[in-house]
Amino acid sequence: MQILRPRDLDGALDALAAHPDASLLAGGTDLMVEVNLEHRRPETVIALRRVGELAEWRDGFIGATVTYARMERERLPALAELARTVGSPQIRAAGTLGGNLGTASPAGDALPFLAALDAQVVLASAEGRRRLPWDEFLLGPGHTALRPGELVLGVELPDTVPARQAFAKIGVRQAMVIATVNCCVVRHDDGATRVAMGAVGPTVLRAREAEALVAGVAEPSPQLLDEFQRLVSKEVQPITDHRSTAEYRRHAAGVLARRTLERCLHR
Amino acid sequence: MTDLGVRRPTLLGGVGESAARPDGIAKTTGEFEFLGDMSADGMLWGATRRAYVPHARIVGLDVTPALAMRGVHAVLTFDDVPGHRYQGQHVTDQPVLAEGVIRHWGEAVAVVAADDPETARRAAAAITLELEELEPLTDLEEALERGEVYRHVRVRRGDPEARGEVVVEGTYETGMQDPAPLGNEAGLALPDGAGGVDIWGPTQWTHVDHRQLSACLGLQPEAVRVHPCRIGGAFGAREDLSLQTHIGMLALRTGRPVKMVYDRSESFAGHVKRHRSQMRYRHEADRDGNLVRVTARLLLDGGAYELTSAAVVANSSYFAVGAYDCPNVEVDGYVLRTNDPPTGAMRGFGANQPCFAAEAQMDRLAAQLGMDPLELRLRNALEQGGHLATTGQLIEHPLPTREVIRSLAAIPLPEPNDSDDPRLLPGGTGLTTPRSGVVRGVGYAVGFKNLQFSEAFDDYAEARVELTPDGAVVHTAAIEVGQGLVTILEQIVRSTLNMTHVRVAFDHTGRIGSAGSTSASRQTQMAGGAALEAARRVRDEALERAGGDELDEAGVWRDGRLLASLEELCAGAAIEHHVRYRHPATEEPDENGQGALHVDFCVAAHRAVVDVDVDLGMLRVVEIAIAQDVGKALNPQQLHGQIEGGIAQGMGQAIMEEVVLDRGVVRNPTFMDYLLPTSLDMPPVEAVLVEEPSPWGPYGAKGMAELPTVSATPAVAAAIRAATGRPLDRVPVRPQGIVGLQ
Ligand SMILES: Cc1cc2nc3c(=O)[nH]c(=O)nc-3n(C[C@H](O)[C@H](O)[C@H](O)COP(=O)(O)OP(=O)(O)OC[C@H]3O[C@@H](n4cnc5c(N)ncnc54)[C@H](O)[C@@H]3O)c2cc1C
């Protein structure tokens, strides 16, 4: 196994061009688990930690190697909330946004935030850059639109990021747990509402009927919220696995989305 | 004769003090050498090839691709087992390596020794293994129908016609729990150059390993030495052999030291688990709440090999009623052969499953009678002078059942949560639950269990105490797995010899006889009892030799004058005594399961307070209180440690810990998916120690470390029932169960 440690973005892209099938290593909190379980045996690893450009965080752009520990301290409330739920302090110090995108787990905790904000994923290779909306990047469990020779540079957020945003996550214990359901709700000033649900489908998904129901309604009534909850439960596509059941996930998705919306409305 | 000016030394760290562990600093600083840290010159690494299917015929097994790899020194299969080809602590029915058939997920098929761990793993993977899958048997009712029964315990007591007016019935289930000790299995086998071998492996009882290992390795007993190990935890998982025979075979074949270490996933495949169970109960009482009759049928999943299952189902059956008087009892306990992973000993040893069911029954009965659940328990409490409901045995020794219930009830309830700190709410930092959505529930359970081995087992422990010029040394083969026996032995001998400098030497099987198993809440009383008796003899001999009436660190005294220093005492023949200590004998059950089958009992009562988000099924355990019978607290801090750890494990079984089985296949063999409580899940514990000295335990002590687990599970489940009003007759309770879904 060879490990390449480029010092800047050009170096990383050159290394990728030379080894298009290399595994990218950010925090390693997913990759090393796979290596340890012998699910992956990369010939070449490109370590991204020294690439300063990937760690940038400026208006509207969050670099791929921004860690959860940093997100916890920044001012985007839902991002801070989701970051706080990830793993343990050690995992949050190492794990990154780009890694969550690279892994593309249906339960990835950063993904509902990106979906709720309609974020774009910025990809770079030696040939140039391209942007993909989140739902064209995330294609299925563990499956993304990333091409050989390409890396995730970061994500671009829309021009207006409303302050009313909230995240919630259900897991079977109080910490260090994979989401049974997770959820991010964003409420724009004009009442437009975005509801993204994770762990209830092959990729994070948006509950668009539910979104439309409450769009523009300044103070949704309890009856409307009941209907909102019902629609979210209807729109999700959960499965039964060893972590939970489809029936519970469907129910919980509705309750969680409703509570998260309520939290947003009161922000 | 020594001069008169010597000061009397003061005794530090005797019985009753919270003496510090001698290995505590080394463990907390990381300097302690655990099993997995051992190495030897010229050492090879072992690896195991396993079959991860529940049931299959081996139609092809070819080791040549592995043998052909560079750096591979041996590849062994069932045919290479040099001696007896089966192992197991009680019943030796587990093939050392698969015998033409795979009977459970993760069964070991072949072992490899190679220059380094990576090569060993790759060679194991290179072995060609062709399987023809067979239908697995995983349904307990079906196993019973087919007669796949390892043991049926039949208990009949009292009048079969007696009936109570008030009746409650229920069916209950408990999931398979993994002992999940912190330290994964690791071991080292060292050939002695004369055809024999020294083995270090994860164990709770070196002598029982020794018996199996010398048989399986085809060696004379003298040619095998099993060493005490330094291992992180056990909880029953190390009672049966895991990798010891394998490394022994590889070391003998290659003539080189062989080390093997499991990772966590392999550890899930490589050790026994707690029996999952299905239980059917009927309680009958009179209108005043006196139990009249209990009928129970218990099915335990024994998995693919019997191992210790027969003793586990005995415990389940004999403790099926709990710490209550009841004159008429009918229990049928079955432990069944299936294609699930082998089950065996785990903290509580069969007492946990029926405790979950029977305590739920007591709550239902109380509800039916309109009675307070603690009142019902007090009314029926079994104490000294009563008879065990199942076996009819007279309870000869103190059993403070009412006292533990009353002490528990006297602990103030925790305040309602008035904070919005998410860590204090169900769902934690997941921010699922506003404070307004929380319902609090309180639940109780009484736990009851035997101490030591039962059913006429010749249960003994050996110890040797030796006086040295600077204190005393206790020799024992008892195993310290982190529970603190090392401290207790020091304390007992310190108090007996009246000297602070006492050291424990853990000896291998060639040096001292058996101390019995570190299990069954035994060693404080058994290894401790042996050490106490040996220390008494040492003290008596020292006093007699010098003609004095008092012994301490300085030497032997009479009338305030030092007659002989320790150095002078030790200058002559060694003062040392070797004791084989037995607890009072027990009987075998008759055909109705009747008799004095147990030497002693202990009891505890738990109260759990749980905040539940009833719409989402999330919960937070707010506090667990316990009052526990300990005989005499030899080391209060260690008792509290066992209580807290035990409660974490019992709570784990109540709300999250389960080996998820899908027709014999384990779906969650990692800590990513086998969830253990974290520090944020673990609530504060309020513990009261109830001291009624045991007439035969050292300084009145009783074993105690299983009970905190046994009744924590039903107490937590009862609290969730109280908050939700749902029956919740299966543990672990899942969020879907709390909201009433599949
Ligand atoms: C104990 C533990 C707890 C965890 N808890 C959570 C949790 O609560 N919630 C959660 O969502 N996840 C959790 N995870 C998973 C993991 O921490 C996250 O998915 C994290 O975001 C991964 O980031 P990383 O930087 O460590 O990725 P790495 O492991 O370095 O990489 C992950 C994958 O992404 C690829 N990759 C990395 N960077 C890039 C890039 N810039 N461009 C393209 N591909 C890239 C890698 O090649 C690899 O395939 C946990 C993991 C562990 C071990």
Could you tell me whether strands B128-133 and B86-87 are parallel, antiparallel, or unpaired per DSSP bridges?
unpaired
Report, in this order, helix, strand and coil percent for chain A, each rounded to 5. Answer: 35, 25, 40
Confidence of residue A77 (pLDDT cuts 50, 70, 90): very high
pLDDT tens, residue by residue, B611-670: 999 999 999 999 999 999 999 999 999 999 999 999 999 999 999 999 999 999 999 999
CATH class in words for B277-454+591-738: alpha beta
Q: Find where tokens 């020594």 sit.
A: B2
List the domain boundaries for chain B.
24-32+460-582, 35-135+185-261, 277-454+591-738
Q: Show the DSSP H helices in B319-351 as ranges.
A: none
Task: Report the alpha-carbon angle B454-B458-B460, nearest 5.
Answer: 100
Q: Is A177 close to B675, i.e. CB distance below 8 A? A: yes
Average pLDDT, integer, range B187-191 = 98
In our burial notation (b when 16+ CB lie closer than 10 A, e otherwise), range B149-168 reads: ebbebebbbbeeeeebebeb
Average pLDDT, integer, range B315-330 = 98
Query: In the beta sheet, which residues pair with residue B665?
Result: B662
Residue A63 beta carbon below 6 angstroms from any ligand 1 atom = no
Could you tell me whether strands A150-156 and A143-144 are parallel, antiparallel, or unpaired per DSSP bridges?
unpaired
In our burial notation (b when 16+ CB lie closer than 10 A, e otherwise), range A81-110 reads: bbbbbbbeeeebebbbbbbbbbbbbbbbbb
Q: What is the CA radius of gyration of chain B?
A: 27
Expressed in angstroms and rounded, the spacing between residue A33 Cα and the centre of ligand 1 is 10
Q: What pLDDT, on a 0 to 100 scale, did the predictor assign at position B5?
A: 64
Q: Give percent of chain A above pLDDT 70.
A: 100
Expressed in angstroms and rounded, the spacing between residue B661 Cα and the centre of ligand 1 is 28
Q: Give percent of chain B above pLDDT 90.
A: 97
Q: How far apart are CA A227 and CA A232, in angstroms?
A: 9
Asked if A258 reaches chain B (Cβ–Cβ under 8 Å), the answer is: no
Task: Tell me the nearest-neighbour CA distance from A254 into chain B, angstroms.
Answer: 10
User: Nearest Cβ partner of B735 from A38, A176, A248?
Assistant: A248
> Ramachandran region of residue A37, left (φ > 0), alpha (ψ -120 to 50) or beta?
alpha
Dihedral angle sign, alpha carbons of residues B100, B273, B657, B352:
positive
Q: What pLDDT, on a 0 to 100 scale, did the predictor assign at position B4?
A: 55
The HSE-up count of residue A221 (CA atoms within 13 Å, CB side) is: 2
Neighbours of A251 (CB within 10 A): 24
One-letter amino acid at B181 equals: P
Q: What is the CATH number of domain B35-135+185-261?
A: 3.90.1170.50
Q: Is A169 close to B672, i.e. CB distance below 8 A? A: no
- From chain B, the residues in CB contact with A244 under 8 A are 734-736
Asked if A248 reaches chain B (Cβ–Cβ under 8 Å), the answer is: yes
Q: Is the pLDDT of residue B1 over 50?
A: no
- From chain A, the residues in CB contact with B429 under 8 A are 81, 84-85, 174-175
One-letter amino acid at B697 equals: G
Task: Tell me the nearest-neighbour CA distance from A114 into chain B, angstroms.
Answer: 18
pLDDT tens, residue by residue, B697-733: 999 999 999 999 999 999 999 999 999 999 999 999 9
Chain A residue with the nearest C-alpha to that of B677? A173
pLDDT tens, residue by residue, A192-242: 999 999 999 999 999 999 999 999 999 999 999 999 999 999 999 999 999
Q: Is B429 close to A251, i.e. CB distance below 8 A? A: no
Task: Tell me the nearest-neighbour CA distance from A129 into chain B, angstroms.
Answer: 35
Q: What pLDDT, on a 0 to 100 scale, did the predictor assign at position B133?
A: 98
Tokens of B320: 């099926």
Residue A106 beta carbon below 6 angstroms from any ligand 1 atom = no
Asked if B436 reaches chain A (Cβ–Cβ under 8 Å), the answer is: no
Residue A25 beta carbon below 6 angstroms from any ligand 1 atom = yes
Domain that holds residue A215: 164-265
CB B529 within 8 A of CB B697: yes
Q: Is the pLDDT of residue B2 over 60?
A: no
Chain B residue with the nearest C-alpha to that of A172? B656
Domain assignment of residue A119, yes or no: no
Q: What pLDDT, on a 0 to 100 scale, did the predictor assign at position B391?
A: 98
Q: How far apart are CA A76 and CA A267, in angstroms?
A: 12
Pick the CATH number of B24-32+460-582 from 1.10.600.10, 3.30.460.20, 3.30.420.40, 3.30.365.10: 3.30.365.10
**Looking at the 3D structure of chain A, how many domains does it have?**
1
The residue whose CA has the least distance to atom 22 of ligand 1 is A99
Chain B residue with the nearest C-alpha to that of A33? B672
Residue A199 beta carbon below 6 angstroms from any ligand 1 atom = no
Tokens of A182: 């997770």
Q: Is the pLDDT of residue B8 over 90?
A: no
Please list, in sequence order, all residues whose beta carbon lies within 8 angstroms of the beta carbon of residue B38, skipping any fewer than 6 positions away. Answer: B186, B188, B200, B259
- From chain B, the residues in CB contact with A251 under 8 A are 739, 741
Average pLDDT, integer, range B286-299 = 98
Q: How far apart are CA A190 and CA B198, in angstroms?
A: 76
pLDDT tens, residue by residue, B370-395: 999 999 999 999 999 999 999 999 99
Q: Is the pLDDT of residue B398 over 90?
A: yes
pLDDT tens, residue by residue, B326-369: 999 999 999 999 999 999 999 999 999 999 999 999 999 999 99
Neighbours of A122 (CB within 10 A): 20
Domain assignment of residue A68, yes or no: no
DSSP at B258:
E
Q: What pLDDT, on a 0 to 100 scale, did the predictor assign at position B90?
A: 87
Q: How far apart are CA A197 and CA A183, in angstroms?
A: 5
Q: Is the pLDDT of residue B56 over 90?
A: yes
CB B489 within 8 A of CB B480: no
A36, A103, A122, best to mutate for ligand 1 pocket (most atoms within 8 Å of CB): A103
The residue whose CA has the least distance to atom 1 of ligand 1 is A87
Asked if B421 reaches chain A (Cβ–Cβ under 8 Å), the answer is: no
Domain assignment of residue A256, yes or no: yes
Domain assignment of residue A213, yes or no: yes
- From chain B, the residues in CB contact with A177 under 8 A are 675
User: Nearest Cβ partner of B741 from A37, A173, A248?
Assistant: A248
Q: How far apart are CA A226 and CA B367, in angstroms?
A: 35
Query: In the beta sheet, which residues pair with residue B149?
Result: B336
pLDDT tens, residue by residue, B562-583: 999 999 999 988 999 999 999 9
Same-fold call for B24-32+460-582 versus B35-135+185-261 = no
pLDDT tens, residue by residue, B124-171: 999 999 999 999 999 999 999 999 999 999 999 999 999 999 999 999
Atom of ligand 1 lying closest to residue A31 CA: 29
One-letter amino acid at B57 equals: R
Domain assignment of residue A44, yes or no: no
- pTM equals 0.97
pLDDT tens, residue by residue, A80-135: 999 999 999 999 999 999 999 999 999 999 999 999 999 999 999 999 999 999 99
pLDDT tens, residue by residue, B680-694: 999 999 999 999 999
Confidence of residue A75 (pLDDT cuts 50, 70, 90): confident
Residue A86 beta carbon below 6 angstroms from any ligand 1 atom = yes
Name the helix (H) or strand (E) containing B606.
Answer: strand B600-613
CATH number at residue A169: 3.30.390.50
Detail the DSSP E strand segments found in B20-55: 44-51
- From chain B, the residues in CB contact with A37 under 8 A are 265, 670
